[in-house]
Amino acid sequence: MTPKKKSRRPATTDIRLLLPVALLVGAGAFLASRPSKPAMHIDLSRAPLGARIPLSGAQAAMLSGPDGEPPVVSILNVRKRMKYGEFVWNDTGVRPGNLWVRIDLERQIISAFRAGNEIGTAVILYGADEKPTPTGELSIREKLKDHRSNTYDAPMPYTMRLTDDGVAIHGSNVRWGAATHGCIGVPLDFAAKLFEQVKVGDPVVIIPARRKPKTA
C-alpha cells in the first residue's frame, strides 16, 4: 500500500518517556500517560545508543504484552527523538523466545519485543484519515519477502500481512508528509530485521491515536 501525501497530522518525532531522574526511552510510550516514581536511577548520558535498560519493580509490573506474553523487562536506550527513517535495533544477548510487536499510532512508533526485551524500535508511517490503520490485537497472517500490492501496483518489500484486505507491516520510504492506505510503513532495513524474526501467528498490538476534539 503505497505512501501518499497526508494533509493532516503534522510530522511527529519519537516522543518517549521523561521521568524526573531517569529518562527511559525505547518502549517509553507504555508509561507516558502513567506518572510514577522510577524504579531505578540510570544515567543514560553514559549509556551507549541502543544499550539495554533493565526495568524492575513497579515499572516492570506495569508493562505487559498480549495474553500469554511475558512482561517487558528491558527497553532500548534511544537518548534522542528519532527522525523519519531512523531506527534502533539490538538483540545482542537476548535469549530466544516469543516475539510480539507494539505499534503506537499516537507517537508513530513501532517496538518489537522478544522474551520480554525490546529488540527494535522505529518511526513509522500509517494510514491517512480516509484509509485508517486498523487498531487492536492482530497477528502476523502471512510473510511475503518480495510482494507487490495488487490494488495499488506498488512494491511492499518484507510484507508481514495483518488483515484479510491487505493491511500489513512492510518496508517503506518513511518520510515527512507521507501516509499509507492503512499499512504500517517502516524503514527498509528495519523491515528486513523484523521480517527475519517474526513468525506467522505472532501478536501485533496497534494502539490508536487519540481523537482530536471537535471544534465549532
**Helix, strand, or coil (residue 120):** strand
Q: Is residue 216 part of a domain?
A: no
Cell 531522574 -> residue: 21
Q: Is residue 14 part of a domain?
A: yes
- The one-digit pLDDT tens for each residue of the chain (216 residues) are 545 544 344 344 333 332 222 223 444 444 333 233 333 444 445 556 667 888 776 666 666 678 878 778 888 888 778 889 999 999 999 999 989 999 999 889 999 999 989 999 999 999 877 888 999 999 999 999 987 777 665 777 899 999 998 899 999 989 888 878 889 999 999 999 999 999 999 999 999 987 643 433
| Rounded Cα–Cα distance for residues 211 and 203 (Å) | 25
Q: Is residue 128 part of a domain?
A: yes
Q: Is residue 42 part of a domain?
A: yes
- What digits encode the pLDDT tens for the residues 71-91? 788 888 887 788 899 999 999
Q: Is residue 79 part of a domain?
A: yes
Please report the pLDDT score of residue 26 as a whole number: 42
Q: Is residue 212 part of a domain?
A: no
Which DSSP symbol is given to 111?
E
The CATH number of the domain holding residue 25 is 2.40.440.10
Structural domain range at position 181: 4-207
Q: Is residue 215 part of a domain?
A: no
Give the global pTM: 0.76
β pairing state of 117-123 and 87-89: antiparallel
Please report the pLDDT score of residue 63 as a whole number: 62
Of the candidates 13, 60, 52, the one whose C-alpha atom is nearest the C-alpha of residue 36 is 60
Please report the pLDDT score of residue 147 as a whole number: 79
Please report the pLDDT score of residue 156 as a whole number: 78
From residue 2, alpha-carbon distances to 51, 86, 172 in Å are 33, 19, 8
| Rounded Cα–Cα distance for residues 140 and 160 (Å) | 6
**Helix, strand, or coil (residue 192):** helix
Q: Is residue 56 part of a domain?
A: yes
- What digits encode the pLDDT tens for the residues 127-165? 877 888 999 999 999 999 987 777 665 777 899 999 998
The structural domain count of the chain equals: 1
